[in-house]
């Protein structure tokens, strides 16, 4: 694990990992909003938790997910910053939401930015990442 319990949470909230995304990663708590799930998925890359990325994928999207490939890619990257640009819906009472973000990381000594507008959906009161919209 690249993130210790008392480290600042990589998601950008001003909380320690153990009080922020850590409980979501270990399954003791669930995301209450689409943005919280998005932030926790970003933190899963930083904390080397590919299992969480698989668990939080919408069931219809899981067929193409490879735990091994995700793990290998995470080992080659260092995640540096998350910027939330816009969110639509995705609140505790919503069933769908979108989050537009920039995720900054380093791969092969090169700084990179992943831009995405993500779709999230709640099923049986659990938020899932569905797919990128662009």
pLDDT score, position 68: 98
d(CA 132, CA 45): 17
Query: How many CB atoms sit inside 10 A of residue 107's CB?
Result: 12
CATH number of the structural domain spanning residue 82? 3.10.450.50
Q: How confident is the model at residue 1 (pLDDT cuts 50, 70, 90)?
A: low
Domain assignment present for 120: yes
pLDDT in tens, 4-34: 999 999 999 999 999 999 999 999 999 999 9
Identify whether the C-beta of residue 11 lies closer than 8 Å to the C-beta of residue 42.
yes
Buried b (16+ CB within 10 A) or exposed e, 25-54: beeeeebebbbbbbbbbbbbbbbbbbebbe
Give the pLDDT mean for 102-124. 98
pLDDT in tens, 85-112: 999 999 999 999 999 999 999 999 999 9
Domain containing 112: what range? Answer: 17-132
Domain assignment present for 32: yes
């Amino acid at each position: 694990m690249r993130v210790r319990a008392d480290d600042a949470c990589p998601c950008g909230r001003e909380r320690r990992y153990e009080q922020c995304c850590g409980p979501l990663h270990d399954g003791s708590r669930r995301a209450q909003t689409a943005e919280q799930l998005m932030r926790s998925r970003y933190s899963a890359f930083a904390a080397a938790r590919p299992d969480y990325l698989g668990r939080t994928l919408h069931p219809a999207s899981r067929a193409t997910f490879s735990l091994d490939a995700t793990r290998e890619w995470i080992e080659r990257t260092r995640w540096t910053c998350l910027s939330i640009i816009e969110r639509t819906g995705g609140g505790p009472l919503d069933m769908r939401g979108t989050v537009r973000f920039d995720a900054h990381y380093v791969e092969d000594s090169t700084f990179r930015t992943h831009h995405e507008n993500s779709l999230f959906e709640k099923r049986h009161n659990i938020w899932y990442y569905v797919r990128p919209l662009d």
